Chain A
Amino acid sequence: MADIVEKVRQVISEKLQIDAAQVTMEAAIVEDLGADSLEQADILFSLEDEFGIAADDTDEADGLKTVADIVSYLEKKVTAE
């Protein structure tokens, strides 16, 4: 859990070139952190790759809005694997 949160914050801050402190669990990737739709997808795909998640179901990843949404999506996937 802690590993996933840390990694998500690190990837988001690196991709968007923002301070990791801004990447709170409640922050919305687009509205609060300023990502565009391509950056949002890039963040998700990079994290999936990082955690070795098989990319067979794209629907589940649609609608992820906040940092917490991404963390819980990744947790679910990592556990399932």
Chain B
Amino acid sequence: MSRRVVITGMGAVTPLGLSVRESWESLLAGKSGAGEIAQFDTSGFAVRIACELSGFAVEDYIDKRDARKMDPCTHYGVAASQMAWKDAGFEDGGYDADRAGVLIGSGVGGIQTFGVQHAILMEKGPRRVSPFFIPMMIADMPSGAASIALGLKGPNFATVSACASGAHAIGVAFHTVRRGDADIMVAGGAEAAICPIAVGGFANMKAISSRNDDPERASRPFDAERDGFVLGEGAGIVVLEELEHAKARGAHIAVEVIGFGATSDAFHITAPAPGGEGAARAMKEALRDAELVPSDIDYINAHGTSTPLNDKYETAAVKSVFGDHAYKLATSSTKSMTGHLLGAAGGIELIFTALTLESSVIPPTINYDTPDPECDLDYVPNQARETKVTAALSNSFGFGGHNAVLAARRFEG
């Protein structure tokens, strides 16, 4: 019989709070994490809003001497990893470090550091570029630094697939534990891209909402008036553990990861394939991997970015996979509240999916006011909903045509 993989720990820093619990409570209350960008002067920028972390103090998690050699994306990734590790109850041992690994994805890695050091290069010349520039910038460093912080010596690398990076990390980590290459994987995503060069770039793609005068209502997935996503930042990390290993040490087990589907659109660098063709195949692959049929799924945590094309094609993809059942299951986008955490989105959204399975409360899609005829599913508009959820999917799609879908189920022995 094949090995089963369960979630035994979760950690997060999100625009809705500096812990999983605080973020989840804000989600169920339908709170938006959006506001005017505070971390740099946005004069002259077409987009001046984002979902930023509030009150994050790196010294609460990382020694000051080490912290100054890390980009904020690594600060967030390490902080969330430590929370997840503690939540799993591993602080006092109970594991073989050689059989425990880390896999944290990031869309753009240390892009803040890149911007700062590039300015120094232009202004002062190459001799002034920090010797820490490269290790601060490279996108594998949240994973590398977390493995150092936790002392884990199993598989350690990063996935890079833009906004699907976190979901790919968890999917690959899930398969790593299932096939026996490790017993424990700390996995998820980390991102810190609210900086001048990234905001400028996303704005010029017309990918992000320019609703500057009403930030809390800017992220409005599936609503007819949507005009792009709102950038978010943070990290979401889970501890994936082989079931018998978790049982043997008496770990709290609420949710099992059961499937991972990954496909490519092979269509366009940024636009999704028409009809959500690649996304649909990823959902089918996740169901196949999980040995589920479409009618088993009660909830989909949508990619739901609030861009015109994503939400339309994701809806079409869900309908093509689920047929009539598409209208019976619930689909919601937590990005309506967190904003889009890019490479960290898949991490926090699997956590929210797991909490939905554990608590039987579905977080809403807020700012859903005006129905779009092309988006006609049950998006759990504006109010959280109590209902039993046994199995769920979490969708993530990234520029480059990367599609990653995770399947999870309430653990019932």
Task: Report A's interface with B, CB cutoff 8 A.
Answer: 15-17, 38, 41-42, 45, 48-49, 55, 58
- Known interface pairs A17-B63, A17-B64, A45-B131. Does A38 touch B69 (Cβ–Cβ under 8 Å)? yes
How far apart are B120's CB and chain A's nearest CB, in angstroms? 9
Interface of A is mostly: helix
How far apart are B136's CB and chain A's nearest CB, in angstroms? 10
One of B16-24, B121-129, B156-164 at the interface: B121-129
B130 at the interface (CB under 8 A from A): yes
Complex: chain A residue closest to B134, CB-CB? A38
- Known interface pairs A49-B124, A55-B125. Does A41 touch B131 (Cβ–Cβ under 8 Å)? yes
Bound-complex Cα distance A16 to B127 (A):
21
B65 at the interface (CB under 8 A from A): yes
A38 CB contact (under 8 Å) in B63, B127, B132: B132
Are A45's CB and B125's CB within 8 A? no
- Chain B residues near A17 (CB, 8 Å)? 63-65
What are 17 A-B residue pairs whose CB atoms fall within 8 Å in the complex?
Answer: A15-B65, A15-B68, A17-B63, A17-B65, A38-B131, A38-B135, A41-B131, A42-B130, A42-B132, A45-B127, A45-B130, A48-B127, A48-B128, A49-B124, A49-B128, A55-B125, A55-B128
Report the count of interface residues on B (CB-CB < 8 A). Answer: 13
- Chain A residues near B130 (CB, 8 Å)? 42, 45
Bound-complex Cα distance A49 to B127 (A):
9
CB contact list, B99-136 vs A, under 8 A: 124-125, 127-128, 130-132, 135
Are B135's CB and A58's CB within 8 A? no
Q: Most chain-A Cβ atoms within 10 A of its Cβ — which of B64, B68, B128, B131?
A: B131
Are B65's CB and A16's CB within 8 A? yes
Are B131's CB and A42's CB within 8 A? yes
CB contact list, B146-182 vs A, under 8 A: none
- Chain B residues near A55 (CB, 8 Å)? 125, 127-128
- Chain B residues near A42 (CB, 8 Å)? 130-132
How far apart are B96's CB and chain A's nearest CB, in angstroms? 28
How far apart are A8's CB and chain B's nearest CB, in angstroms? 18
Give 11 new A-B contacts, CB below 8 A, not counting A17-B65, A48-B128.
Answer: A15-B65, A15-B68, A17-B63, A38-B69, A41-B131, A42-B130, A45-B130, A49-B124, A55-B125, A55-B127, A58-B127
- Chain A residues near B68 (CB, 8 Å)? 15
Complex: chain B residue closest to A44, CB-CB? B131
Bound-complex Cα distance A43 to B128 (A):
11
- Report the 6 A-B pairs with minimum CB-CB distance, sorted nearest first: A55-B127, A17-B65, A41-B131, A38-B131, A42-B131, A17-B64
Bound-complex Cα distance A12 to B125 (A):
23
B128 CB contact (under 8 Å) in A15, A16, A38, A45: A45
Bound-complex Cα distance A81 to B208 (A):
50
How far apart are A60's CB and chain B's nearest CB, in angstroms? 12
- Chain B residues near A48 (CB, 8 Å)? 127-128
Bound-complex Cα distance A74 to B135 (A):
27
Q: Mark B62-98, 1 if CB is under 8 A from A, else 0.
A: 0111001100000000000000000000000000000
- Chain B residues near A15 (CB, 8 Å)? 65, 68
Complex: chain A residue closest to B127, CB-CB? A55
Bound-complex Cα distance A48 to B68 (A):
19
Bound-complex Cα distance A17 to B63 (A):
9
- Chain A residues near B125 (CB, 8 Å)? 55
How far apart are A35's CB and chain B's nearest CB, in angstroms? 10
- Chain A residues near B135 (CB, 8 Å)? 38
Bound-complex Cα distance A48 to B120 (A):
14
Q: Mark B43-79, 1 if CB is under 8 A from A, else 0.
A: 0000000000000000000011100110000000000
- Chain A residues near B124 (CB, 8 Å)? 49
Bound-complex Cα distance A16 to B68 (A):
10
- Chain B residues near A58 (CB, 8 Å)? 127
Complex: chain A residue closest to B129, CB-CB? A45
Q: Most chain-B Cβ atoms within 10 A of its Cβ — which of A15, A17, A58?
A: A17
